């Protein structure tokens, strides 16, 4: 139901010289991760032991913000600027790494299912950012 590929395919000009599949996967991973991180911050806030969830909430809120801005930047083909895209992808990969680790910790040690789902979203997005970084060139 996502439109990222169709939007890229119908772009009227020349698309960025980078692998399209890597770009589309990264756009989709960013928007999916924004959503899951917003939802996971909220699920953590709904836990009885919310006082143990502070770091996870902050990591999720930060990651949600960075993924949202990165997803938008990647969605822009007009005057695509590799230096900007690289900087955004680096920040996003780091946000996803930190959030994914924290969520993973709650998933394995406290059996929190929302953190397990969110850790998966973060790891997928971290991987997609790193692959997009390779695709966009150093």
CB atoms within 10 A of CB 49: 9
Task: Return d(Cα 97, Cα 63) in angstroms, integer.
Answer: 9
- CB 50, min distance to a second copy, A: 5
- CB 124, min distance to a second copy, A: 8
Q: Which is nearer to a second copy, 19 or 86 (CB)?
A: 86
- Helix ranges, the chain (H): 4-9, 20-45, 54-74, 82-109, 113-136
Q: Which is nearer to a second copy, 22 or 66 (CB)?
A: 66
- CB 110, min distance to a second copy, A: 11
């Amino acid at each position: 139901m996502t439109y990222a590929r169709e939007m890229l395919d119908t772009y009227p000009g020349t698309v960025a010289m980078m692998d399209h599949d890597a770009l589309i996967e990264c756009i989709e991973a960013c928007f999916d991760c924004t959503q899951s991180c917003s939802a996971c911050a909220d699920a953590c806030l709904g836990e009885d032991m919310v006082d143990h969830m502070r770091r996870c909430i902050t990591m999720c809120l930060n990651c949600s913000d960075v993924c949202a801005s990165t997803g938008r930047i990647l969605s822009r083909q007009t005057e695509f600027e590799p230096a900007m895209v690289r900087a955004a992808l680096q920040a996003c990969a780091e946000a996803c790494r930190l959030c994914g680790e924290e969520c993973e910790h709650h998933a394995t040690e406290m059996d929190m299912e929302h953190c397990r789902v969110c850790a998966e979203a973060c790891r997928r997005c971290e991987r997609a950012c790193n692959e997009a970084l390779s695709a966009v060139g150093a």
